Amino acid sequence: MFTLSRIQFFLIMFIVQTGTVFVTFQSRLINASGSNAWIVFIIAGILHYVQLLLFEKFYKKFIPGQLVSFLYIAYWSFITITFLAYINYTLSVWIFPNTPQIVTMTIIVAVSFYANTRRPEAVINLPAVIIPMIPFFLAFLFMAFPNLVWTWLFPINFTEYKPILKGLFVSQTTFIGIEIYLFLRKYVKEDEPVKGKPLFIYQSIWFLFFFTCLIFVLLFFPASGFKFTTEPLFHLLKSQKVTFIERLDLFFLFIWIVWSTITISIYIFMCIHAMKIHVKRVSNSFICLFHVLLVIISVYLATKDRIEIIRQAIVYVHLVFSILMPAIVILKNRGKKT
């Protein structure tokens, strides 16, 4: 058993929800909604806050049984494999075209294996590594401020509802990981309240981070460029010139790799933690085998076509495990005392 401070809890949530997706969601959202993307994401932000409020109100009623827990283990394993495959493919394109993919994946997963075979605090404290990196990322991002074209925020068109609905659907990628709130909320120290102002502050940080990334990308590239740009943040930073770093995008890639590695470590931690609730003992040998399988499967899926197929399906799977499954479990336990 372990406990979380309020800051640890929100930091884990932030890392899990941003993780790998903050470099990719902009192009898909803009392709779906055009110049309306920023309005659509404001609506998505409101929906995200509503979902957090509902989770905070009903988390004590979320008591997953063995079947539900193992379904979530399968879901988190799917998310982990998806992220690993995407990281693997991206690194092979941007940095290591001649390095065997299994080598880069093994190095990344080795961090998770080391942390997840130690005390829970080893994983719980990992997100703190990201804190000093976030200001560097934002500073590099704001270097592009003079090149932004603010007229690209317009026109705003609400006459057609399909692009708005499609944009709201695509924006769900930024919600991925929100269900972990229900699993970890009960471990937060009782003398550190979460609801009210603390939850609103977390929501504001989540929204401002994603919204800032979206606005910079939307105003930096012409609308036609997003059909061919899947990682617009990488290209934006690559275009910035500084005297102390030759390739700013490679420095940002290093930050993103660390960020993503910690995200993956947390997802694997959640899988192992859910197993330990229903299984008396989870051995290090099993954890090692689990990591090996993740590497093998992710390397197999690390191609452009396979990743695109997974990306098309991931939102549907996410909606099942972030909305439908919690609703079923909470409704089932609504009459029980907690």
Please report, in tens digits, the pLDDT of each residue of the chain (338 residues total): 789 999 999 999 999 999 878 888 888 888 888 888 899 999 999 999 999 999 999 999 999 989 999 999 999 999 999 999 888 888 888 777 777 878 888 888 999 999 999 998 999 999 999 888 888 888 888 888 888 888 888 877 777 788 889 999 999 999 999 999 999 999 999 999 999 999 999 999 999 999 999 999 888 887 666 666 777 887 787 777 776 666 777 778 888 889 999 999 999 999 999 998 888 788 889 999 999 999 999 988 888 888 888 888 899 999 999 999 999 999 998 866 65
Give me 59's structure tokens: 């988390």
In sequence order, the 6+-apart residues with CB closer than 8 A to the CB of 150 are 219
Residue with tokens 């919600």: 175
Q: What is the CATH number of domain 6-332?
A: 1.20.1740.10
In sequence order, the 6+-apart residues with CB closer than 8 A to the CB of 116 are 122, 123, 265, 268, 269, 272, 287
pTM value? 0.92
CB contact at 8 A, 175 and 57 = no
Give me 291's structure tokens: 């990591």
In sequence order, the 6+-apart residues with CB closer than 8 A to the CB of 155 are 35
Distance CA 323, CA 38 (A): 24
Distance CA 65, CA 63 (A): 7
Where are the domains positioned within the chain? 6-332
